[in-house]
Structure 1
Amino acid sequence: MMSFSAARIKGVLSLNQGRSGTLLMTVAVLACMLLSACAVAPGMRMQKPPSIAAQNASASDENASVEAAVPMTDINLALINKLRLDAAKVSDVQTQTLFDSSPAPYRLGPGDVLQITVWDHPELVTALGGQTAANNRPSDPAQGFVIDSNGDVQFPYVGRIHLANIRLDEAQDSLIEHLSKVFVKPQVTVRIASFRSKQVYVDGEVHTPGPQPINDIPMTLLEAISRAGGFTAAADQSRMILVRRGVSYTLDLPKMMDRRENVAKILLRDGDLLRVVSRDDNGSFVMGEVNKPVTAVPMKSGRLTLSDALSQAGSLNTNSADAAQLYVIRGSQNGGVPEVYHLDARSPVAMILANQFELQPKDIVYADGNGLVRFSRVLSLLMPAINAGLTAAIVTK
């Protein structure tokens, strides 16, 4: 009887010890999970590219090779000056071919309407047709002689005469020469009643987009914008696109004016397409530890600096952002090798650099989080598992 009781007590004690061991083991495992998880905190995090030795050692690792291929550069005055110089060179090469200081005179073409007057011969006035201008629609040609698709005009006593691709004075001399065979020293006056053979197209952020006819006054860039009603509030004047014969040119109007370049010397030609894009299409993405992740849009001048983008995002989150880890990712949308620029913004003086560093369309501005925030996020993810494990251990006790 005594031996049975002792054996039972011993069994109960061993069972309690096993349950206590299970509880301690559970707590130990959860503690190890917590400590190890701190090294792999959730969320995005920027890292410096590995050293050359690390790159050689991990050449077989695909992720390491991709990370090593992305260069990371610190933002400083030397970098800002270099980027400005490179951008100016590209702009000069593109726009210098568009400047034309000697515009060519207007040449007649199919669709132009001519008003031809032969003085002292009123019988030729009836060739112009009846006076129906009051009933004409805006798309109807003006009263006169229309140059057909072959470039010819049918005129009394002359017949069919080719007047396309010649100047107005040359057309007048040609008519005088032909009429001299019928009349003695004819006095002829030729003027253009309607310009319809040449036009440019203005599209995008202007008040009245559409075709703009080219007349005897050379069509400059500013003249085309003025005829289209001027820019809208959403227009990006720094990245206008001019398409000419399949070649696209990017025009930065504010910078050209800042460099004292005469924009009036940029002449548009027949068939040119001028597109004024919206500032919303050229925004930069601000994300990470900012108060309001947003797509920052350029100013009316088309300029967007890093400080402008941060201002539109409500600045860095002082509770969670690591000001020393501010990055700009560029070139990720066109399939090339992206570039990463790093700025240590812990000092307010660094914002001078941010105010001079100009962003490009589709740049990504990323503010990294600090270590305390990452640790807090680890705890928030692991606490439900820890509580569940402790509860299960207590219940089994």
Structure 2
Amino acid sequence: MTALSFSRVGDGFGVTSGRSWARRIGKIAVIGAVVLVSACGLPRSGPSKKEIFSGSVEKGGSSHIITVDDRVNRAANFSPAYGFGADFQRAGQVGADEVRPGDVLGLSIWENVDDGLLASMGASSTQLQELQVDSQGYIFVPYAGRVLAAGNSPDELRRIITQKLETQTPDPQVMVTRVAGDGATVSVMGKVNAQGVYPIERPTRSLSSMLSRAGGVSIEPEVSVVTVKRGNASGKVWLRDLYSNSRNDIALRPGDIILVEEDQRSFTALGALGGQTKVPLGNESINAIEAVAMVGGLSTTLADPKGVFVLRDEPQSVARAVLGRNDVYGTQRMAYVLDLTKPDGMFMARDFVIRDSDTVYVTEAPFVQWQKTLQSILGTASDVGTTSRTFE
């Protein structure tokens, strides 16, 4: 039995089949779907190229949109480098035998008499162990008094004590040994196999030798960064550069703090790429082409190769060089644009260095949104058609 519905025709009522009524409902629904899709937008990976450009400083936004060329590459390829300052590099090695406040010394004294000043009855020598050098650099030796030990080598200190004792006992023989104390020491911590406080001795007067004394690093050498803090100053270096360049193998000073960490520098990849993730930089210099390749390259079904952006905050000096202006102040938001559809664009991307905290973003191709809109409309129409058939 065919369903009937009434429609007004002229001054009277006509009779329309349910199937015709459903088709009209379907047409209305398709038109509504177009309007709805246009009004609400569709899912996407981020802003379009046009939307990014609309946020430029020239259009009232807060970002400078810069097309990358050779001049921009030269100005923007500034990368903070690790290394030690001149104060660290000029510091001479600590004398391995130099006595310092906090050191612990051992004294052995022989007297050339049967009944000496210091020796016990029937003994020819006296052992004075664990004499700690006080904060002013002195030790106390019986019959020699308060002796300045700091700044002298054990041999020099031996001569000083001998001279003081020979007025009290004939031909004294003195031997001074240096026991590891808390004087000339450094602290080694972080990603090493044996954290601790170590004395600066003859084999461990340089940074590399002290790291070896601490058992070496416990992480991959390629991502290891070594920081040395000395008073209010500090410097850092890649572990690999420490061993490849002798200038980085600085001499250690008492009180130095050595910290080994895993490098935390990274960039973020977003948009129409093979992957969206945070990527560690490591100790290599990475360019824009390599950055895109590290996350699987451009998505062949989504990406607009004319819309590859590198977003970063530039310090004032670099921003002025890039913009060719001296009237910008403070850190500036920069959006560098790379067009990979041109041979020159590929070379520009190859020469553009990625820095810590950069965001590499690739926009979707213009037709992608149209394709999504069409699929959404057709999907809506299909759903309506299915609904219409239920009335038949």
* Equivalent residues of 2:221, 2:240 under 8 A apart: no
* Equivalent residues of 1:327, 1:366 under 8 A apart: yes
State the secondary structure of the residue aligned to 1:12.
Answer: strand
Alpha-carbon offset, residue 326 of structure 1? 1.7
Match of 1:288 among 271, 287, 292: 271
* Match status 1:11 vs 2:16: no
Match of 2:162 among 149, 156, 176: 176
> 2:209 aligns to what?
223
State the secondary structure of the residue aligned to 2:192.
Answer: coil
State the secondary structure of the residue aligned to 1:317.
Answer: coil
State the secondary structure of the residue aligned to 2:14.
Answer: helix
Describe the superposition over 1:235-287 as per-residue Cα deviations: whole angstroms up to 9, x where unpaired.
456743322324443324656888x66223x22322222222214x3232223
Describe the superposition over 1:73-132 as per-residue Cα deviations: whole angstroms up to 9, x where unpaired.
3344434433455636xx57x62332115345454334423233445557574424xxxx
State the secondary structure of the residue aligned to 2:53.
Answer: coil
Match of 2:88 among 95, 98, 111: 98
Alpha-carbon offset, residue 11 of structure 1? 1.0
State the secondary structure of the residue aligned to 1:376.
Answer: helix
Q: Distance in 1 between matches of 2:225 and 2:371?
A: 44
Q: Distance in 2 between matches of 1:268 and 1:248?
A: 12
Identify if the C-alpha distance between structure 1 residues 82 and 170 changes in structure 2 by more than 3 Å, giving closer, same or farther.
farther
* 1:93-172 mapped onto 2 (5 Å cutoff): 95-100=85-90, 102-105=92-95, 107-121=98-112, 123=123, 125-128=125-128, 144-147=130-133, 151-164=137-150, 166-168=152-154, 171-172=157-158
Q: Distance in 2 between matches of 1:338 and 1:70?
A: 5
* Equivalent residues of 2:339, 2:346 under 8 A apart: no
* Equivalent residues of 2:93, 2:253 under 8 A apart: no
Match of 1:70 among 63, 66, 71: 63
Q: Distance in 1 between matches of 2:266 and 2:140?
A: 56
Read off the aligned partner of 1:284 and give its amino acid letter: F
Alpha-carbon offset, residue 192 of structure 1? 1.5
* Match status 1:312 vs 2:294: yes
* Equivalent residues of 1:207, 1:232 under 8 A apart: yes
> 1:82 aligns to what?
75
TM-score, length-scaled by structure 1:
0.70
Identify if the C-alpha distance between structure 1 residues 151 and 245 changes in structure 2 by more than 3 Å, giving closer, same or farther.
same
Q: Distance in 2 between matches of 1:192 and 1:103?
A: 18
* 1:1-397 mapped onto 2 (5 Å cutoff): 10-13=12-15, 23-35=26-38, 42-45=44-47, 46=49, 47-48=52-53, 50=55, 54-55=59-60, 68-84=61-77, 87=80, 95-100=85-90, 102-105=92-95, 107-121=98-112, 123=123, 125-128=125-128, 144-147=130-133, 151-164=137-150, 166-168=152-154, 171-184=157-170, 186-216=172-202, 219-236=205-222, 239-252=225-238, 262-264=247-249, 266-279=250-263, 281-299=264-282, 301-331=283-313, 337-347=332-342, 350-379=345-374, 385-388=380-383
Q: How many residues align?
A: 356
Alpha-carbon offset, residue 44 of structure 1? 0.4
Q: Distance in 2 between matches of 1:254 and 1:79?
A: 31
Q: Distance in 2 between matches of 1:306 and 1:232?
A: 31
State the secondary structure of the residue aligned to 2:337.
Answer: strand
Q: Distance in 1 between matches of 2:284 and 2:210?
A: 20
Q: Distance in 2 between matches of 1:189 and 1:234?
A: 46
Read off the aligned partner of 1:311 and give its amino acid letter: A
Q: Quick check: 312-321 or 371-380, which moved more?
A: 371-380
Read off the aligned partner of 1:43 and give its amino acid letter: S
* Equivalent residues of 2:185, 2:255 under 8 A apart: yes
Identify if the C-alpha distance between structure 1 residues 234 and 295 changes in structure 2 by more than 3 Å, giving closer, same or farther.
farther
* Equivalent residues of 1:239, 1:302 under 8 A apart: no
Q: Relative to total residues, which structure has the larger helix share, 1 or 2?
A: 1
Read off the aligned partner of 1:30 and give its amino acid letter: A
TM-score, length-scaled by structure 2:
0.71
Structure 2: segments with no counterpart, 5+ residues: 1-7, 113-118, 315-329
Q: Relative to total residues, which structure has the larger strand share, 1 or 2?
A: 2
Identify if the C-alpha distance between structure 1 residues 174 and 112 changes in structure 2 by more than 3 Å, giving closer, same or farther.
same
Q: Distance in 1 between matches of 2:180 and 2:57?
A: 70
Q: Distance in 2 between matches of 1:37 and 1:112?
A: 76
Q: Identity, % of aligned pairs?
A: 21
* Equivalent residues of 1:103, 1:218 under 8 A apart: no
State the secondary structure of the residue aligned to 2:85.
Answer: helix
Identify if the C-alpha distance between structure 1 residues 324 and 230 changes in structure 2 by more than 3 Å, giving closer, same or farther.
farther
